[in-house]
Amino acid sequence: MAPSPQPINSADSVTRLKNVLRGNRQSGKGGTYAVCSGHPAVIQAAIQQSLADQSLLHVESTSSQVNQFGGYTNLTPRQFAHWIYSSGTRAGLPAEHILLGGDHLGPFPWRNEASSVALEKACNLVRDCVGAGYQKIHLDASMACADDPASALPEQTIAARAALLCEVAENAHREMPSGSPEPVYVIGTEVPTPGGEPHDASELALTKTEDVHRSMDIFHSAFASRGLHSAWDRVIALVVQPGVDFAANSIIEYDRLKARSLSEALSAHPHIVFEAHSTDYQSPKSLAEMVEDHFSILKVGPWLTFVFREAVLALSAIERELLGKAHRISQVRDALEAAMLSDPSHWKSYYHGDEGAVRRDRIFGFSDRCRYYWNQSAVQEELARLLTNLAGRPTPLSLVSQFLPLEYEAIRAGVLQTAPEQLIQYHIRRVLQIYAAACGWTASR
């Protein structure tokens, strides 16, 4: 694998981000959405959406997706960065329109190990991300490790560990080529569970105003204790709980009245915005209101692979009706189910109830834990068979109408063809367009 490119104008992507966030603080308009996914179809859709909008391609990998051991995508930070930059530039997206971020960078993947071991691995991950060209670093040390107290970690401990990770990032940046953009940081202690909640809920406790002020003070002190004054000036966002999340069968919608005091807390911190995690499945109205209320960095991930799965299973249904028993039709769902049953570690704690409910949620639940299994070879083989079976074969519009009605309307309007890959891309971009519109990218309005 060739080293990830270091585009000479990559500083412009950080400047573009800062300008967007500064404008949001001044007017309540404009934001950025971070595509937190390592799925090829999602990344391709995000690139095409950025090209259409002439917007920032803001892609982030989590510490579980991509790390020095490969993560569940089997990619290291350098490999992931090379893939994103090369995919974007091949499609015609200027390098200065690409912003790469690290999400939940900290000990999360190694939280079942002793804190010293987990933090050492987290430091190595942060070092690798900065060295690979990641420009936006979410410092997340909010989770307890194996030898930590059973109760919640003290905020001072979380901040001290985050400052350690920041120091590693700063040292790694000093080893970068001259002119490389300085990384920007996201901090916070009230970080929602990565990937959604393990249990359905109807309401969440929002971060309190006083907690915002206290967190900023504690993190500031932790940074200062390590002499990270310049890095503190590059903290662009605080992660809080604005009252949005999702689980297998529930979505907690944003309530701006409940979040008003939280939003107003930013008046004391004019140089940062809020970063909103787990915004998947929010309505267009809610996402637009969140941006107006200065939750102007919106994270989205599972929703994008959720709609990828929707499109793939719809195409499977079309294949079944079109080919019947005359051909060896694909068995994508069966392969996905088999992969999940052979390794339940990614979904078992998320799905509850009787056998039928768990079986349904494994494939269809909003938690979308099946996203961890698309790269399994048996699943890939069946997906390739599906696309091959449908490629070059006329697809009756009546079947598209039955199983992909929104795509049917686009075909009738002359903006889409029936090629299976195009149908999948269109289905994913429908979600991306919701985020683009909420963030004020005019081409999506």
Please report whether residue 95 resides in a domain. yes
Element holding 421 (H helix, E strand): helix 420-438
Whose structure tokens read 């530039």?
Answer: 89
Confidence of residue 193 (pLDDT cuts 50, 70, 90): low
Mean model confidence pLDDT for the chain: 93
- The answer on 356 and 376 residing in a single domain is yes
pLDDT at 393 over 90: no
Within 10 angstroms of residue 240's Cβ, the number of other Cβ atoms is: 27
The full 3-state SS of 124-155, as one line of letters, equals HHHHHHHHHCCCEEEECCCCCCCCCCCCCCCH
Confidence of residue 45 (pLDDT cuts 50, 70, 90): very high
Percent of the chain with pLDDT over 70: 94
> CATH number for the domain including 359?
1.10.400.20
First to last CA, the chain: 39
Position 150 scores a pLDDT of 82
- The answer on 134 and 234 residing in a single domain is yes
Position 195 scores a pLDDT of 54
Position 356 scores a pLDDT of 96
Whose structure tokens read 């008003």?
Answer: 260
Confidence of residue 326 (pLDDT cuts 50, 70, 90): confident
Q: Rounded to 5, what percent of the chain is helix, strand, coil?
A: 50, 10, 35
pLDDT at 8 over 70: no
Least confident of 97-106, 285-294, 319-328: 319-328
Confidence of residue 290 (pLDDT cuts 50, 70, 90): very high
Domain stop point among 283, 300, 317: 300
- For 386, the domain range is 305-433
Q: pTM of the full predicted structure?
A: 0.94
Domain stop point among 241, 271, 300: 300
CB neighbour burial string for 341-379, b if at least 16 within 10 angstroms, e if fewer: eeeeebbeebbeeeeeebeebbebbbbbbbbbbbbbeeb
Within 10 angstroms of residue 146's Cβ, the number of other Cβ atoms is: 12
Residue type, 440: G
Position 7 scores a pLDDT of 37
Position 6 scores a pLDDT of 39
Position 432 scores a pLDDT of 98
Give the up-direction half-sphere exposure of residue 234: CA atoms within 13 A in the CB hemisphere: 22
- The answer on 58 and 161 residing in a single domain is yes
199 vs 347: which has the higher pLDDT: 347
Position 392 scores a pLDDT of 80
Please give the full DSSP string across 39-78, using - where no structure is assigned.
-HHHHHHHHHHHHHHT--EEEEEETTTB-TT-GGGTB-HH
Confidence of residue 198 (pLDDT cuts 50, 70, 90): low
**Each residue of 126-184: pLDDT tens digit?**
999 999 999 999 999 999 999 999 888 999 999 999 999 999 999 999 999 998 999 99
Position 202 scores a pLDDT of 64
Angle between helices 209-225 and 155-174 (to 10 degrees): 50
Position 190 scores a pLDDT of 76
State whether the Cα torsion 26-28-29-30 is positive or negative. positive
> CATH number for the domain including 232?
3.20.20.70
Q: How far apart are alpha carbons 386 and 399 in whole angstroms?
A: 16
Domain stop point among 235, 265, 300: 300
Percent of the chain with pLDDT over 90: 89
Position 441 scores a pLDDT of 86
Please report whether residue 238 resides in a domain. yes
pLDDT at 2 over 60: no
- The answer on 127 and 33 residing in a single domain is yes
- The answer on 53 and 128 residing in a single domain is yes
Please give the full DSSP string across 165-229, using - where no structure is assigned.
HHHHHHHHHHTSPTTPPPPEEEE-S-PPPTTS-SS--S--PPPPHHHHHHHHHHHHHHHHHTT-H
Least confident of 2-6, 43-47, 277-281, 387-391: 2-6
Tokens of 356: 């039928």
Q: What are phi and psi of 312, to 5 degrees?
A: -65, -45
Residue type, 145: C
- The answer on 225 and 154 residing in a single domain is yes
Alpha carbon of 6 to those of 11, 181, 336, 381: distances in Å? 10, 10, 37, 34
Position 151 scores a pLDDT of 81
- The answer on 142 and 69 residing in a single domain is yes
**Each residue of 245-278: pLDDT tens digit?**
999 999 999 999 999 999 999 999 999 999 999 9
Please report whether residue 4 resides in a domain. no
Number of domains in the chain: 2
How are beta strands 235-239 and 273-276 bridged, if at all?
parallel
pLDDT at 93 over 80: yes
Classify the phi-psi angles of 204: left when phi > 0, otherwise alpha if psi is within -120 to 50, otherwise beta.
beta
- The answer on 181 and 74 residing in a single domain is yes
Q: How big is the chain, counted in residues?
A: 445
